[in-house]
């Protein structure tokens, strides 16, 4: 949209504030607050376009041993499910802060792990590095003593658990390079039975990791995979018989292959597969030296929309009750890239992914990882939160389940997403500024109704007869305020691992407590001022949105 037309429409939007907020003053402008440098966000609050889970934000815990290295860097440390320090207070507080946080337990090695449930035929030995083995490690084992420790932590932290089962047991090589034969589920069934007998709550059991389509390391045909999912459903129904709440069945935890996904969804109807999970590493390998350029490129970010759109088309055309999750997403594969995927700049990619995926009715989004690699929400060594942790926590606390259609005019460098506010009136607007220019950008928020009326009047009378910006200025002080949360990088360095909220550094205290996330209050008549390379969450309680009643 041209700057002249946008300037005129912004004047009309000031009237929109009267309607949105009631009888309050219209913002009267000022230096740098109107014209070509201003942008407008149009939110349609009449009806939700999608609905997410209440615990939409999810994180993963992986199996990788300390010897896991990529490009000469070993970034996993003691972050495995087998050796993670569960007594660290920061870890506990970081998970508890979400109340609840979904945790997906799995990853590349999950299909090479057995469960030490006491079967004398199976020895419980740990992973050993071996270049001749798939993913560079031999078979490993989860002792039940460790499973007990993990569940004690999950219960204390209030986490919601998804467990990825070993889907390669019993497979045999086929002539086409894939693995065939039915899944040998005896070991998995023993773990599930042990879990139920101990009274541990599991929200869902997921079958396999990255075995769909062409696979990663190994692959299984969709017809066989569908049969295995049906078997998993039968096992769960049998073991959980008589219990009120049965866990979800999830699969395949792999990259979207439309033909493969279409077949498995069709063959698991009507009620064997609750959730179809797919993975996202759209930025390429962690060694890529152009990750930052991709992250701040709007057209590159837009490219992933096709994945969400294709999966929703498959689900819609299949007429299934199966829903979609992102089961694992680290952006850059092979453990990410230090000072990119664990720094402030990655929140641009991460929050844009949360916003984009939610508009396509994705119910849950699992970030790789909670801790471990170079893309952890927590630092692998110190457990201190990286910037994305605070981005995730703000999303969880502010963005409600109902997703609203949102468009931004005047720039393509600011991304905008809106949801009904979480457990409070109005809406929450997320703004992501991918531009590093030296001036702040004023953002005005309006409804679809006001925006459409402005365009209609402009087209009817022409720009030369439309004087939207010559509006009488009302002097009454607004009684309406909104809450804003501005995230910026320390010293303006987008590769910093320190993030500021409204100008204050976010850091845990000496006891490992997560800091309070306090907003600033802004009068309704003022535009949202978005700094270069910054992120803003704005809770607007006075925004009239019938979808949010």
Kindly report the three-state secondary structure assignment for every residue of 440-462: CEEEEEEEHHHHHHHHHHHHHHC
- CA angle 117/121/127 to nearest 5° reads 70
How far is Cα 19 from Cα 453, in angstroms, rounded to an integer? 13
Residue closest to 483 by CA, chosen among 549, 538, 428, 409: 538
pLDDT value of position 31: 38
Q: Residue 293 catalytic?
A: no
**Cα–Cα distance for residue pair 250/162, rounded to 1 Å:** 9
Cα distances (Å, whole numbers) of residue 431 to 62, 147, 355, 414: 31, 41, 10, 6
pLDDT in tens, 334-393: 999 999 999 999 999 999 999 999 999 999 999 999 999 999 999 999 999 999 999 999
Q: Give yes or no: 518 in active site.
A: no
Q: Which of 96, 57, 54, 82 lies closest to 508, judged by CA?
A: 96
Q: How far apart are CA 248 and CA 202, in angstroms?
A: 9
Integer angstrom CA distances of residue 2 from 36, 38, 411, 445, 457:
8, 11, 10, 18, 16
Query: Running DSSP on this structure, what letter comes out for residue 107?
Result: -
- Residue 228 is given by DSSP the state H
- Look at residues 387, 393, 386, 384 and name the one whose alpha carbon lies nearest to residue 89: 384
The DSSP result for 279-311, as a single string, is: EE-TTEETT-TTHHHHHT-HHHHHTTHHHHHHH
Query: Whole-angstrom Cα distance, residue 447 to residue 43?
Result: 5
- Length of the chain in terms of residues written: 549
Task: Supply the DSSP symbol for 391.
Answer: H
Q: Which element (helix H / strand E) includes 145? A: helix 144-157
> Which residue is catalytic, options 206, 304, 328, 484?
328
Q: Is beta strand 140-143 parallel, antiparallel or unpaired with respect to 113-116?
A: parallel
Task: Give the SS3 label for residue 126.
Answer: coil
Cβ pair 255, 278 in contact under 8 A:
yes
Q: Tell me which residue of 386, 339, 338, 331 sits closest to 494, measured CA to CA.
A: 339
Model pLDDT, residue 258 = 98
Residue 21 near residue 467, CB atoms below 8 Å? no
CA-to-CA separations, 71 to 74, 279, 283, 287, 343, in angstroms, rounded: 8, 22, 17, 7, 19
Query: Distance between CA 268 and CA 169 in Å, rounded?
Result: 21
Task: Take residue 353 and report the two structure tokens written for it.
Answer: 């992914």
Q: Tally Cβ neighbours within 10 Å of residue 546.
A: 9
All structural domains of the chain? 39-50+406-458+479-548 (2.60.40.1180), 54-378 (3.20.20.80)
Beta-carbon count within 10 A of 541 CB: 16
Phi, psi torsion values for 371, nearest 5 degrees: -150, 140
Q: Among all chains, which residue has been given the structure tokens 């320390």?
A: 490
**Other Cβ atoms within 10 Å of 147 Cβ, number:** 20
Alpha carbon 22 to its chain's center: 35
Please, what are the averages of pLDDT over each run of 10 residues along the chain (549 residues)? Answer: 52 46 34 60 97 98 98 97 98 98 98 93 91 96 98 98 97 94 97 98 98 97 98 98 96 98 97 98 98 98 98 97 98 98 99 98 98 98 98 98 96 97 97 94 88 66 45 44 98 98 98 98 95 98 94
Share of the chain above pLDDT 90, in %: 85
DSSP letter at 497? S
Nearest-CA neighbor of 41 among 9, 80, 66?
9
Please, which residues have CB within 8 angstroms of residue 527's CB and are 6 or more apart in sequence?
A: 27, 33, 38, 442, 443, 444
> What distance, in Å, lies between the first and last C-alpha atoms of the chain?
32
| pLDDT, position 34 | 40
Q: Which of 133, 149, 206, 210 is catalytic?
A: 210
Helix-then-strand count for the chain, H and E? 12, 26
Residue with tokens 């949801």: 419
């Amino acid at each position: 949209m041209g700057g002249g037309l946008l300037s005129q429409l912004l004047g009309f939007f000031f009237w929109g504030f009267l309607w949105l907020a009631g009888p309050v003053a219209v913002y009267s402008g000022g230096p740098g607050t109107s014209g070509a440098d201003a942008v407008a966000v149009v939110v349609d609050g009449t009806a939700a376009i999608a609905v997410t889970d209440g615990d939409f934000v999810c994180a993963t815990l992986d199996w990788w041993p300390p010897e896991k290295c990529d490009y000469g860097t070993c970034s996993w440390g003691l972050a495995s499910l087998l050796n993670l320090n569960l007594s660290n207070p920061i870890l506990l507080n970081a998970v508890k802060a979400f109340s609840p946080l979904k945790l997906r337990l799995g990853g590349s090695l999950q299909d090479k792990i057995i469960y030490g449930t006491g079967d004398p035929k199976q020895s419980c030995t740990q992973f050993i590095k071996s270049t001749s083995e798939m993913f560079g490690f031999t078979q490993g084992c989860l002792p039940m003593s460790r499973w007990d420790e993990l569940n004690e932590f999950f219960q204390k932290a209030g986490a919601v658990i998804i467990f990825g089962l070993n889907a390669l047991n019993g497979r045999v090589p086929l002539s086409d390079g894939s693995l065939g034969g039915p899944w040998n589920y005896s070991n998995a069934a023993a773990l599930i039975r042990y879990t139920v007998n101990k009274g541990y709550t599991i929200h869902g059991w997921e079958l396999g990791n990255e075995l769909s389509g062409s696979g990663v390391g190994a692959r299984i045909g969709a017809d066989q995979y569908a049969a295995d999912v049906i078997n998993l459903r039968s096992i769960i129904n049998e073991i959980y018989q008589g219990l009120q709440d049965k866990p979800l069945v999830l699969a395949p935890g792999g990259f979207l292959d439309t033909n493969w996904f279409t077949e498995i969804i069709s063959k698991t109807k009507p009620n064997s597969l609750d959730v179809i999970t797919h993975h996202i590493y759209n930025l390429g390998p962690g060694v890529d030296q152009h990750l930052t350029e991709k992250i701040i490129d709007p057209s590159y970010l837009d490219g992933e929309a096709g994945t969400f759109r294709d999966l929703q088309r498959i689900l819609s055309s299949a007429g299934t009750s199966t829903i979609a999750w992102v089961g694992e997403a680290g952006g850059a594969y092979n453990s990410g890239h230090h000072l990119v995927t664990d720094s402030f700049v990655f929140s641009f990619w991460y929050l844009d992914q949360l916003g984009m995926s939610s508009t396509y009715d994705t119910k849950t989004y699992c970030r790789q990882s909670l801790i471990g690699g170079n893309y952890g929400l927590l630092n692998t060594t110190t457990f201190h939160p990286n910037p994305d942790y605070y981005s995730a926590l703000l999303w969880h606390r502010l963005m409600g389940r109902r997703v609203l259609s949102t468009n931004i005019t005047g720039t393509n460098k600011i991304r905008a997403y809106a949801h009904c506010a979480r457990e409070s009136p109005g809406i929450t607007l997320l703004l992501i500024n991918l531009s590093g220019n030296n001036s702040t950008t004023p953002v005005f928020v309006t409804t679809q109704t006001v925006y459409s009326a402005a365009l209609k009047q402009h087209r009817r009378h022409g720009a030369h007869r439309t004087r939207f910006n010559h509006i009488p200025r009302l002097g009454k002080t607004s009684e309406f305020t909104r809450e804003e949360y501005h995230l910026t990088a320390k010293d303006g360095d987008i590769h910093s691992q320190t993030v500021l909220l409204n100008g204050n550094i976010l850091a845990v205290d000496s006891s490992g407590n997560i800091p309070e996330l306090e907003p600033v209050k802004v009068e309704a008549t003022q535009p949202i001022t978005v700094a270069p390379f910054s992120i803003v969450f704005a809770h607007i309680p006075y925004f009239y949105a019938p979808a949010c009643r």
